[in-house]
């Protein structure tokens, strides 16, 4: 079969069949962005679930999955990227495009650059789309629709490299995403502010509430609709994924966390001294940011955040 215009790749291989890997498989098939989707996951049980879900051609090893693939997508935790690519590097088709979906870019680029074959084209990326769920059953084809996908191309002067970046951009657009290009250090700082710190705060608040001896767990759960439950959703995210994010974006997270701690101390002082103006001004600025997020189409203005209860 000829690769049509809509069909951007003849064969893609996805390593890691969790939430993101499964969603890419479903979206690629639904959009005809790839004719054949091959998948590999190191967990045999996940492989059989991926097969039962009809995600694509499920392979018993990563070398078989990447053999003949025009695009290889690494959808494993950030800390496993280097070893996942190393395990199948020799089986890559010459000139294959290799990308990833890792939530951190600097450390992943370092790990992948050390093992990627010289004739492959490494174009790192990160979809700004996800949920707190993991595993192949959590995947859905519409995950990337209307969401940003950030590509962090490398300073690669080969003429075929620029074409590979354009082709990968077309692939993500076919999956419904908006695509932006950015350098890796900038990506890591922006994501430290918009994703990594909010997750750290949520993990901390939820763990703290569990620890508090003066409030019983049942009361925390009973009254959670007053705000706490929104943190519990974020804090339900996969512990392996988030451990790897913080171990691999250490510098940017610590820098943003330093600023956050100073501002929190200022809020603490305002509360202690009854400084209502400072509190009001900050809350007002924060509320305006919420409006901007909704206007940018990144959340719903529906009452109760679109929840039915």
Q: Which residues make up the interface to ligand NAP (CB under 6 A)? A: 15-21, 40-43, 46, 75-78, 80, 83-84, 101-103, 126-127, 130-131, 134-135, 238, 241
Give the shortest CB-244-to-ligand NAP separation in angstroms: 7
Give the nearer residue to ligand NAP in terms of CB position, either 88 or 97: 88
39: nearest Cα among 31, 30, 53: 53
Question: Which residue's structure tokens are 């695009």?
Answer: 71
- String of b and e for 173-195 (b: at least 16 CB within 10 Å)? bbbbbebeebebeebbbbbbeeb
Q: How far is the CB of 279 from ligand NAP (least distance, A)?
A: 32
216 vs 298, beta carbon nearer ligand NAP = 298
| Spatial CA neighbour of 100 closest among 3, 197, 187 | 187
CB 152 within 8 A of CB 183: yes
Least distance in angstroms from the C-beta of 301 to ligand NAP: 22
| Least distance (Å) between residue 89 CB and ligand NAP | 13
End-to-end CA distance of the chain: 49
* Closer of 243 and 259 to ligand NAP (Cβ): 243
Task: State in angstroms the smallest separation of the CB of 90 from ligand NAP.
Answer: 16
Measured from the CB atom, the residue of 9 and 242 that comes closer to ligand NAP is 242
* Least distance CB 119 / ligand NAP (angstroms): 22
Q: Which is nearer to ligand NAP, 145 or 259 (CB)?
A: 145
Residue (251 or 275) nearer to ligand NAP, CB: 251
């Amino acid at each position: 079969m000829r690769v049509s215009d809509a069909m951007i790749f003849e064969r893609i291989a996805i390593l890691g069949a969790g939430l993101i890997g499964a969603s890419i498989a479903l979206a690629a098939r639904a959009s005809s962005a790839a004719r054949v989707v091959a998948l590999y996951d190191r967990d045999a049980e996940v492989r059989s679930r991926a097969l039962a879900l009809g995600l694509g051609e499920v392979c018993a090893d990563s070398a078989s999955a990447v053999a003949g693939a025009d695009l290889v997508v690494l959808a494993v935790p950030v800390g496993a990227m280097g070893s996942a690519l190393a395990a199948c590097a020799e089986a890559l088709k010459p000139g294959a495009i290799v990308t990833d979906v890792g939530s951190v870019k600097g450390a992943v680029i370092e790990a992948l650059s050390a093992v990627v074959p010289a004739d492959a084209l490494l174009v790192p990326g990160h979809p700004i789309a996800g949920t707190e769920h993991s595993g192949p059953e959590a995947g859905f084809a519409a995950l990337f629709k209307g969401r940003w996908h950030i590509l962090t191309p490398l300073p690669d002067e080969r003429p075929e490299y620029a074409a590979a970046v354009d082709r990968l951009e077309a692939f993500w657009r076919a999956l419904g995403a908006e695509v932006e290009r950015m350098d890796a250090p900038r990506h890591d700082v922006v994501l430290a502010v918009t994703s990594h710190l909010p997750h750290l705060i949520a993990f901390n608040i939820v763990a703290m509430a569990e620890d508090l001896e003066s409030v019983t767990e049942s009361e925390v759960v009973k009254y959670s609709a007053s705000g706490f439950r929104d943190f519990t959703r974020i804090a339900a995210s996969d512990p392996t994924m988030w451990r790897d994010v913080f171990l691999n974006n250490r510098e940017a997270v610590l820098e943003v966390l330093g600023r956050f701690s100073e501002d929190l101390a200022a809020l603490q002082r305002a509360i202690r001294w009854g400084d209502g103006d400072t509190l009001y001004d900050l809350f007002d600025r924060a509320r305006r940011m919420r409006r901007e997020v909704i206007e940018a189409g990144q959340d719903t203005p529906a009452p109760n955040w679109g929840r039915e209860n």
